[in-house]
């Protein structure tokens, strides 16, 4: 049954290839896109259940045994990430069906979306660090095209910053991989984890690890390398923003957590303290940046940055409970953040703007959408009993356990400021009375609006469920953290699976 591990990569690829057979047939590609995303979701659920019950699975591609060939590995962390990716893919592709314009659709919007999903799932599943680089490229190139598809002026402007910085980060990544290979003669991550202990110059390893920190840090948008994110995320269509916001930076976070729990653990005094410091700065700058913004999606973009800070805070603390907090936070964040972007798209559709000053009266016109926003926004700010509360609670508690009071103070203040930002949006967009606005302003059909509404409700319900089922999700996160903190089972699974 270990073949199932390749399905999250194959399904998007097959979907994209089959969609290409019907080039310029919009409706056909749309249908294929939805079907493919649904299949991906089903497989992802099954994969998580399988890994949860039977432990880590690893498959050697082309029967080349590790550490020589490329291994695909799926532990709980990978499985959770794949599932989250599938959830967001399904929700946003459904949403795209009602929002993306015909031009974009006929220039391969859906196949591109699936190619990007292939890259994302591949990055989560690979057990080879150079292969990770390749998957990064796959997802980046698709995301470049998705970002500029449509060719609006501001899209181009955002894309230049996005492309430049991501290429820079890829270069760092490649250089780091090269040095690592020169030092240790292997690229298999499990094998690296073993061989790195034998190295006689720990200083060099720390240096390489910082290079990795920079490479993944740019992709994850951590302080001080985040500025490409708010410059580009608000430019493409909302569905694309939502996927980017939910998933792309999290691929960087995933990679950080993976290499800094599996490979670079020999000098945690330096590396993980550095990460913790960066986490604090990331949180603060993100949330302060958001406070200064007046554009719906730009506010949300800055909040991504501050939330990334929480995720890597768990990594920086480097205890089991803290990592569980990080995993919980990622689960919570991906769903909530994507949903907030979807809401911003809804507001844009009915009110014709993303600027807070030009929006208003949403609560009067669309009370149900407002509730969806409120649930997500309060969850983001961390109010009980929603998912964000538990995510922050676990992180802060674990920080207190190890006596890192500084980061606790920062995390709490940032939570408060997040609430301030969210109430600002609520005030401006949902409660504010607009002068001279008609109660129903829209050329948009009710059908399209309800179509957009479905994925939003779905994601909002998931947020609520994570909040109420926090016990279960926390259990899962804790188990994931156990696997991450003790890589022996991961290493054993990779090096002994001789299939």
Partner 1 sequence: MHSIILRTATVFLKYLLLVFSVYLLLGGHNEPGGGFVGGLVAASAFILFAIAYNVEEARKRLRIEPAVLIGIGLLTALFSGLIPVILNKSFLTGVWFHGHSEIFGDIHIGSPLFFDVGVYLVVLGVTVKIIFSLLEEV
Q: Which residues of this protein are in contact with partner 1, per CB under 8 A?
A: 3, 6, 10, 13-14, 16-24, 59-63, 108, 499
For 61-92, give the secondary structure using H, E and C.
Answer: HHHCCCCCCCEEEECHHHHHHHHHHHHHHHHH
Residues in the chain: 499
Residue 18 has a CB neighbour count (10 Å cut-off) of 16
Nearest approach, Cβ of 18 to partner 1 (angstroms)? 7
Tell me the torsion sign for CA atoms 489, 173, 124, 299: positive
Nearer to partner 1, 107 or 458 (CB): 107
487, 75 Cβ separation under 8 angstroms: no
Return d(Cα 399, Cα 379) in angstroms, integer.
21
Nearer to partner 1, 94 or 495 (CB): 495
- Smaller CB distance to partner 1: residue 6 or 444? 6
Strand-pair partners of 128 = 188
> From CA 146, how far away is CA 240, in angstroms rounded?
7
Minimum CB distance to partner 1 smaller for 106 or for 489: 106
**Residue pair 79/217 in contact by the 8 Å Cβ criterion:** no
Buried b or exposed e, range 88-97, using 16+ CB within 10 angstroms: bbbbbbbbbb
Task: Provide, rounded to whole angstroms, the least separation between the CB of residue 288 and partner 1.
Answer: 44
Instruction: Give CA angle at 283 (124, 391), nearest 5°.
Output: 60
Distance between terminal CA atoms of the chain? Answer: 11
Decide whether 61 or 274 has the Cβ nearer to partner 1: 61
Nearest residue (CB) to partner 1, 140 versus 481: 140
Minimum distance, C-beta of residue 146 to partner 1, in the bound complex (Å): 16
CB of 23 to partner 1, least distance (A): 4
Q: How far is the CB of 104 from partner 1 (least distance, A)?
A: 15
- Cβ at position 423, least distance to partner 1 in Å: 47
Cβ nearer to partner 1, comparing 135 with 260: 135
- Tell me whether residue 22 or residue 384 sits nearer to partner 1 (CB atom): 22
Output the CA angle 282-283-286, nearest 5 degrees. Answer: 80
Closest to partner 1 by CB, 61 vs 374, is 61
Please say which residue, 15 or 301, places its beta carbon nearer to partner 1: 15
The helix/strand/coil state of 126 is strand
* Helical spans, DSSP H, in 185-227: 189-195, 202-220
Minimum Å distance from CB 306 to partner 1?
A: 39
Structure tokens at 276: 């913790």
Q: At what angle do helices 470-485 and 387-401 cross, to 10 degrees?
A: 40
Cα–Cα distances (Å) from 23 to 17, 20, 53, 110, 342, in that order, read 10, 5, 42, 11, 28
Supply the minimum distance, in Å, between the C-beta of residue 4 and partner 1: 11
328 φ/ψ sector (left φ>0, alpha ψ -120 to 50, else beta): alpha
Nearer residue to partner 1 within complex by CB, 14 or 383: 14
To the nearest whole angstrom, how small is the minimum distance from the Cβ of residue 59 to partner 1? 6
The DSSP line for 313-345 is HHHHHTSHHHHHHHHHHHHHHHHHHHHHHHHHH
Smallest gap from residue 173 Cβ to partner 1 (A) = 24
DSSP letter, residue 245: I
CB of 499 to partner 1, least distance (A): 6
């Amino acid at each position: 049954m270990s073949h199932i591990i390749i399905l999250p990569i194959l399904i998007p690829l097959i979907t994209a290839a089959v969609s290409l057979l019907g080039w310029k047939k919009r409706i056909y590609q749309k249908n294929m896109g939805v079907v493919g995303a649904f299949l991906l979701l089903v497989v992802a659920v099954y994969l998580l259940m399988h890994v949860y019950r039977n432990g880590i699975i690893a498959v050697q591609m082309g029967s080349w045994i590790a550490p020589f060939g490329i291994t695909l590995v799926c532990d709980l962390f990978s499985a959770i990430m794949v599932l989250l990716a599938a959830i967001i893919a399904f929700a946003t592709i459904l949403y795209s069906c009602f929002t993306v314009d015909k031009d974009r659709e006929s220039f391969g919007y859906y196949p591109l979306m699936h190619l990007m999903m292939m890259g994302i799932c591949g990055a989560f599943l690979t057990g080879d660090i150079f292969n990770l680089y390749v998957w990064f490229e796959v997802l980046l190139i698709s995301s470049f095209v998705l970002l500029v598809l449509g060719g609006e002026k501001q899209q181009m402007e955002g894309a230049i910053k996005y492309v430049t910085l991501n290429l820079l980060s890829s270069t760092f990544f490649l250089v780091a991989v090269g040095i690592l290979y020169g030092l240790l003669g292997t690229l298999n991550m499990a094998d690296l984890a073993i061989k790195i202990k034998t190295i006689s110059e720990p200083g060099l390893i720390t240096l390489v690890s910082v290079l990795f920190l920079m490479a993944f840090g740019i992709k994850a948008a951590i302080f001080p390398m985040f500025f490409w994110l708010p410059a580009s995320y608000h430019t493409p269509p909302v569905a694309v923003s939502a996927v980017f916001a939910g998933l792309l930076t999290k691929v960087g976070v995933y990679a950080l957590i993976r290499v800094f729990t599996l490979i670079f653990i020999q000098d945690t005094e330096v590396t993980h303290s550095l990460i913790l410091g960066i986490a604090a700065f990331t949180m603060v700058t993100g949330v302060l940046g958001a406070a200064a913004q007046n554009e719906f999606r730009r506010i949300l973009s800055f909040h991504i940055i501050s939330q990334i800070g929480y995720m890597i805070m768990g990594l920086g603390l480097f205890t089991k409970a803290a990592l569980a907090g990080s995993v919980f936070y990622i689960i919570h964040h991906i769903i909530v953040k994507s949903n907030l972007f979807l809401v911003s798209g809804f507001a844009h559709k009915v009110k014709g703007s993303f600027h807070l000053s030009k929006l208003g009266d949403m609560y009067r016109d669309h009370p149900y959408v407002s509730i969806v926003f409120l649930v997500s926004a309060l969850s983001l700010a961390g109010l009980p009993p929603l998912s964000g509360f538990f995510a922050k609670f676990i992180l802060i508690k674990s920080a207190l356990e190890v006596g890192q009071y500084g980061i606790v103070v920062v995390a709490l203040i940032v939570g408060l400021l997040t609430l301030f930002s969210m109430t600002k949006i609520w005030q401006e967009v949902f409660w504010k009375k607009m002068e001279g606005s008609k109660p129903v302003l829209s050329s948009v059909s009710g059908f399209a609006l309800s179509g957009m509404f479905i994925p939003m409700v779905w994601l909002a319900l998931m947020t609520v469920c994570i909040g109420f089922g926090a016990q279960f999700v926390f259990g899962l996160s804790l188990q994931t953290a156990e696997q991450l903190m003790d890589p022996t089972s991961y290493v054993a699974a990779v090096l002994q699976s001789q299939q």
